[in-house]
Chain A
Amino acid sequence: MDFTVLRDLAAGNNWWAIWPELVLGCLALLLLVLETVLPKSAHDKIPDISIAAQLGILLALLFNFDTSYHETFNGLIMLTPQGELMRVFFLASSILVSVLGRVSLKGRGVPRIEFHHIVLIVAAAMMLLVESRNFVMLFVTLETVTVGLYILVSYYRSNPKTLEAGLKYLVMGALSSALLLFGIVLLYGVAGSAGLTGRTTAGMYFSGLAAFLDANPHNFMASAGIVLVLSGVAFKIGAFPFQIWVPDVYQGAPTPVTAFLAVASKAAGFVVLLVLVTQVFPAYDWLVGPVLALMAAATMIFGNLAALKQSNVKRLIGLSGVSHAGFILLAVASASRVPAAVGAVYFYLVVYLIASFTVFGVMTILAGPDDTEQEVSDYSGLAKQSPFLAGVLGCGLGSLAGIPPLAGFMGKLLVFTAAFKAGHYGLLAVAIACVAISIYYYFGWIRAAYFNDEGALSEATASRIGGGGTLLRVTVAVLAALSIILGFYQGMLGALIGG
C-alpha cells in the first residue's frame, strides 16, 4: 500500500497552529488526573489551578497575537485575525465561567471538577468551530460544544426546573442539529450533482461550495439547503422563530452556564453565521438578505416585548439576550453590503461579553439556595446596603441597555451606522423603537436596585451581599471598569476590528 498520500496529507497539518485548543484540551484532562491523584483536601485547589492555567494561556495568546491569515489541515481550518480575537473571546468566557462556577457550585452537592473539565473542552471546541472552513469540521465541533452544554445545563440535577431545562435544551438542540445536518447534506448533494455547471466534489469545503453557488445563483435545492443551515444556526443564537427554548433554559440552567450559553455559545453562532453569509452564500444574497432582515426584525421585537413583563432576572436576561441577538443580526444582515458591519459584530460581541458577565457575576453573588428563583424584587434597596454591587450592576445593565458612555452604546452605534449605510431604514426604525422599549425593563431592574421606593433587601439576600469571594468581586469590578473604559477609549480593539 502506498502511504505517500497520507504522508502528504499529514504534512499539511500544522499542529502548532492550534496550540491554544490543544493546551486547553490537555488542561481539561489534567484536571481529571489531578482529581484522582490529589488528596480530597486539595480538591478545592483544582478550580483555581484551572483558572490560573487559563490565564496563562490567555496571556500567551495576547502576547503572540497573530494577525495574519493562513490555512492549515488541508483547508479544514483557517486562521484569521478575527479568529484570533474569538480565541481570546472564548478563553475569556471560559475563565469567567470558571470563576462564576467556583462560587456557584459551592455547597450544592454536585461534582465540581467535571464542571471545569467540560467548560474547557467546550471552549476549545468553540475556538475550532469559528476557525473551521469545512462543513464536517463545523458539524463535529458544533456537536462537541452542544453535547458539552447538554451536560452543563442540567448540572444542578436535584432541581426539577434545571432538569426541565436540560431536557428542553437536549430536544431543541438535537432538532437544530438535525436541521443543520440536513441543510449541509442538501448543499453537498446538489454541489456534486452531475449536469450542473461547476459541480464539485469539494462541496464540504466552504470555498468549494462558494464557487459552486456562484456558478448556480438560483438553484432551488441549494436555496432549501441554505435556509436549513441558517435555521440550524438560528437555534444556537436564539433568533426568532427558533428562540422558544431560551427563557426556560436560561432560567433552569445554573447561572454560570446561563452566562456561557448567553455569551460564548451565542457568539460562536454569530461568527459562524458571519462567515457563512460573507464567504459562502454571497451569491444567494437575494435569499439570505431578506431572510436575515426578517429574522432580525422579528427577533428584536419578540425579545423586547417578551422581556417587558418578566420578573425573574434569569428569564429577563435571557429574553433581553434574544433582543441583542436581533441587534447583532441587523449588523450581519448588512455585512454583505457594508464591510464595516463585520467589525461592528465583533465589537458588539465583545462589549456584550463584558456587560453580561458583569451582571451574571452580581447574580451569582446574590443567588439563593434555589438558583432558578432570582427575582427583580430581590434587588430592591441594593444600592443602600451594597453600593459596590449596585454600582457594578448599574454598569453592566447600562451597557446592555446601550446607554452612553458605556461600551454597549458604542456597539449599538456601530451596528446602526452599518445598517444605515446598508440602507436598512425600516429595520433601523424597528431597532430604535426596541431600544426605547428595552430601556423600560432595564430601568425596572435599576429602579429596584437604586431608588429606595420598594423597601430594603430581604434578610436572606442581605446576608449574601458580602459573599462571592475576593476573586469574583475583583473580577466584576474589573469588568465594570472595562465597560466604562471601552465606552471612552476603544484603542487596540477598535483598530483591530476597524482595520
Chain B
Amino acid sequence: MSNPSFDPLLLSVAAPLALAALIALGLPKKIVVKLAYLVFALPAAIAVYLWWGFAGAAKEAHGYAYLSEYSTGLGGFGISLKLGLNGISLPLFVLAGVVGLAAGLYALQSKAERMKSYLLLLLVMQAGLMGTFASVDIFFFYFFHELALIPTFIMVGIWGGRDRTHAAMMMTIYLTVGAMLSLLGLVAIYAKSGASSFDLLAIRDALATHPLGEVTQKHILGLLLFGFGILVSLWPFHSWAPLGYGAAPSSAAMLHAGVLKKFGLYGLVQIALPLLPLGFLHWSHPLASLAAVGNVLVIGLVTMAQRDLKQMVGYSSVMHMGYAFLGLAVGSVLGVGGVVMLMVAHGLSVALLFLLSTSVYQRTNTFDMHQMGGLGAKAPVLAALFVTATFASVGLPGFANFWGELPIFVSLWGFSHCLTLIALSGTVISAVYGLRAAARAFFGPQTEAFARFEAQKPVEDIAWSERIPALILIAALLFVGVWPRSLSTAIDQALARPPAAVAASR
C-alpha cells in the first residue's frame, strides 16, 4: 500500500501538534492567536471534507477509506502508525473536529490567564482526539487517547475552579487506572490473536480464521469493559466525572465530556464487539442492568438533586452514558447504531451545555441555580440558546439526540421489557432536571445575590464571539437531527458487516 502524497488524516493530527511545538519554542502571542483560529478550523474542515467524500471514497478491506501507514521504528514490535476511517470512526472524527473548533473558539475569547500555555494544551488535546478516531492501529488508538487525556489533568489543575487540586488528582488516578486496564485488554487481544501487529485489520483477519475461545473472550472483555467503563463513567465508577467537570475550565470540559469520553464506547463498538462477540454475550445482561439501574435511574435522580449547574451537566452526561451502554448491551445493528448516533449527539449537546453554563456563570458569578433567576430578561439570546441546548439534551425530535435514543429504546424492548421501562422513565427524569435548570436560571424573579452582583457588573447578553461556537454546535445538532441519514448510512454499512467469528463459521 502506498501512502497518498497529501494525507488529510495525518494533517489533522500534525497541524495542531506543530502549532503546539511552535508555542513551546516561544512564538509570540499575537501570531499564536491568529494561527490558532486557523489550526482549530483545519481539523473541522478536513473532517467535513472527508465526510462529504466518504460515500464515494475507495473502500479497502473491512470498509476502511483513506488508509495510510507510517513506520515509527517499532515495526519489530508490531507497532506502526496506520490511519483510516470506517463508518464507525467517521461520525466520531467529525464530532472531534466540530467540538474541537467550538472549544478552540471559546478558549480564544475566554481571556484565560497564561493564554499561550492554555492554547498549547488545548491543541495537544485536539491532535490527540483527531488521532484517536483516525487510528486503525489499536496501539495508536490508545496512544492518542492518552495524548489528549494528559492535558485535561493539567488544565483542571491549573485553570480549574474550586477544589481543582482534589479534582485533578481524582481524575488522574481514576482515569489512569481505567486506561491501564483497557491497555491491558488491548494488549491481550493483540497477544492472543496471534496477529503480527497491533493493526486492527490484521487482528480481525487473524481472528476471522482462528477465533478466540469463549473463556478467553470473557476474560478479555471483562478487562476492556471495566477499563473503558471507568473512562466512560459507568456506574459505580463515575464519581470522578461530576467532580472533574465541575472544576474543569470550560474548553477542557467541552472536549473531554464531548469527545474524549467517547473513546471508551468507541473502543467497545469498534474493537471489542466485533472481535469478542462471545464475550459480549456473556457480559451483556450484567452490563445492561448496571447501566439501567445505576447510570440511568440512580444518577438520574442524583442529577435532579443538584443545585450546581455545572455539576448537574456533569451528572447528566454520566446518566446519558447509561443509554449508550444499554444500546451496546443489546448488540444488534439497530442498538449499536443508536449508540454511535448518541455518541455524536451527546458530544455536541454536552459541549454546548458546558459552554453555555460558563457563559451563565460569567453573568451571575455563581453556578448555584438557587442564586440565579431572571437572567432571561437581561440576556434573551443566551436564554434561547440554553433552552435549545436543553431540548436537544432531552432528546426532542429534530435534534440529533432523538435519533440516538429512539433506536436504542426500540432495540432494547426486544432485549428486556423491564429495562426499557426504566430507560424510558429516565427520559422523564432528564426532562425534569433540564427544564427546571433552564427555568431556575433564566425565568422567575431575580435573587438578591444576583442583583447585588449585577449592580457591580451590568449583565450583557451573549457576545458574538461566544455565540459563534454555540451556533456551530447547534447547527451540527440540527443538521444531524433533520438529516440523520448523512451519518447512519455509513454506520449501517460498517455494522452490518458480519463479525469475525460469524464470517469464519460460514
Q: Which residues of A contact B (CB under 8 A)?
A: 340, 343, 387, 391, 398, 403-405, 409-410, 413-414, 416-417, 420-421, 428, 432, 435-436, 439-440, 443, 447, 450-453, 488-495, 497-499
Contact = CB atoms under 8 A, between A and B. Distances in A.
B180 A421 contact: no
A387 B154 CA distance: 14
28 contacts: A340-B76, A343-B77, A403-B150, A404-B142, A404-B147, A404-B150, A405-B147, A410-B74, A413-B139, A416-B187, A435-B176, A435-B180, A439-B176, A440-B169, A443-B169, A443-B172, A450-B158, A451-B157, A451-B158, A451-B164, A490-B74, A491-B72, A492-B73, A494-B73, A494-B75, A494-B77, A495-B75, A498-B77
A77 to B, nearest CB: 27
Interface in B176-202: 176-177, 180-181, 183-184, 187-188, 190-191
A493 B73 contact: yes
B191 A421 contact: yes
A85 to B, nearest CB: 14
A428 B187 CA distance: 11
B150 A498 contact: no
Contacts of B164: 451
B145 to A, nearest CB: 8
A490 B143 CA distance: 14
A178 B470 CA distance: 72
A495 B172 contact: no
B173 interface: yes
A354 B191 CA distance: 29
B76 A498 contact: yes
B165 interface: yes
Contacts of B183: 413, 416
B187 A417 contact: yes
Given A432-B177, A493-B73, 8 more contacts: A340-B76, A421-B191, A435-B180, A439-B173, A451-B157, A451-B158, A494-B76, A498-B76
B24 interface: yes
A268 B173 CA distance: 33
Interface residues of B, number: 33
B184 A416 contact: yes
B66 to A, nearest CB: 21
A432 B143 contact: no
B146 A403 contact: yes
Q: Which are the 9 A-B pairs with shortest beta-carbon distances?
A: A498-B76, A494-B73, A404-B146, A490-B73, A491-B73, A494-B74, A451-B157, A432-B180, A436-B177
Contacts of A413: 139, 183, 187
B330 interface: no
A432 B181 contact: yes
A488 B17 CA distance: 12
Contact of B72 (A403, A404, A417, A489): A489
A416 B157 CA distance: 30
Nearest to A344: B77
A198 B176 CA distance: 53
Given A432-B180, A451-B158, A439 B172 contact: yes
A436 B176 contact: yes
A409 B72 CA distance: 15
A494 B77 CA distance: 9
B240 to A, nearest CB: 13
Report which residue of B117, B146, B164, B180 has the largest number of chain A beta carbons within 10 angstroms of its beta carbon: B180
B168 interface: yes
B77 A488 contact: no
Contacts of A451: 157-158, 164-165, 168
Contacts of A447: 157, 165, 168-169
Contacts of A398: 150
A480 to B, nearest CB: 10
Nearest to A414: B77
Contacts of B142: 404
Contacts of B150: 398, 403-404
A417 B158 contact: no
A488 to B, nearest CB: 7
A499 B76 contact: yes
Nearest to B219: A425
Contacts of A440: 169, 173
Given A450-B158, A451-B165, A417 B75 contact: no
A321 to B, nearest CB: 20
Contacts of B157: 447, 450-451
A364 B464 CA distance: 50
B349 to A, nearest CB: 29
A421 to B, nearest CB: 5
A431 B158 CA distance: 30
A13 B190 CA distance: 47
A426 to B, nearest CB: 13
Given A405-B146, A451-B168, A498 B74 contact: yes
A414 B342 CA distance: 35
Contacts of B73: 489-495, 498
Interface in B131-153: 139, 142-143, 146-147, 150
A490 B139 CA distance: 14
Report which residue of A421, A439, A493 has the largest number of chain B beta carbons within 10 angstroms of its beta carbon: A439
B72 A490 contact: yes
A447 B167 CA distance: 12
A436 B76 contact: no
B72 A405 contact: no
B149 to A, nearest CB: 8
A126 B228 CA distance: 45
B249 to A, nearest CB: 13
Contacts of B173: 436, 439-440, 443
Contacts of B117: 387
Contact of A417 (B169, B176, B181, B191): B191
Contacts of A491: 72-73
Contacts of B188: 420
A495 B80 CA distance: 12
Interface string B12-44: 000000000000100000000000000000000
Contacts of B180: 432, 435-436
A495 B77 CA distance: 9
Contacts of B154: 450
A343 B168 contact: no
Interface string B74-85: 111100000000
A432 B184 contact: yes
A420 B72 contact: no
Nearest to B116: A387
Contacts of B177: 432, 436
A13 to B, nearest CB: 35
Contacts of A489: 72-73
B76 A495 contact: yes
B164 to A, nearest CB: 7
A189 to B, nearest CB: 41
A95 B181 CA distance: 39
A271 to B, nearest CB: 19
A451 B180 CA distance: 25
Contacts of B147: 404-405
Nearest to B78: A417
Contacts of A450: 154, 157-158
Interface string B314-326: 0000000000000
A489 B73 CA distance: 6
Report which residue of A417, A440, A453, A490 has the largest number of chain B beta carbons within 10 angstroms of its beta carbon: A417
Report which residue of A398, A409, A443, A497 has the largest number of chain B beta carbons within 10 angstroms of its beta carbon: A443
A428 B184 contact: yes
B181 to A, nearest CB: 7
